[in-house]
Amino acid sequence: MASLRTTRALLLGADESLASLLADVLGDLGIALFLDAGDAARPDLVLAHVERGESILPVLTRARACAAAAPVVVLLPFADERLVSRALCQGARACFALGRPLDELRALLRSHFPSLETTHG
């Protein structure tokens, strides 16, 4: 019988309270959250938090350096179509505005990892 491998997510640029909140949300989906690239050897997903006024390109560059093949979800401080468009054009797989309901984040993550729906659902 094959064992199920836990999905690993690396979180970049977030403070302790955001990390705690995301750990709970991701834990409900069976995703382990790591704050250090060394601990999350080959993460399956990178969540990259962008601070207000921060440029997206350096954040995405750091995310790719930590996990080149993993999809990057940019966490934005607020919903802004211009920022979303910029992040997607610069290589993010998806974006999530932190002011949105967390169920939307769950749905976004399930869309990238369909197996989460059936195994942790």
Top pLDDT among 53 and 25 is at: 25
Q: For tokens 């409900």, what's the residue?
A: 28
Asked if residue 116 has pLDDT above 70, the reply is: no
Cross-strand pairs, 97: 76
Give pLDDT, residue 114. Answer: 67
CA–CA distance, 35 with 38 (Å, rounded to integer):
9
* Tens of pLDDT, residues 63-90: 888 887 889 999 998 888 998 999 999 9
Q: What share of the chain is helix, strand, coil (3-state, %, to 5)?
A: 40, 20, 40
CA–CA distance, 87 with 63 (Å, rounded to integer):
12
Which tokens in the block code for residue 20?
A: 């705690």
Q: Name the pTM for this structure.
A: 0.86
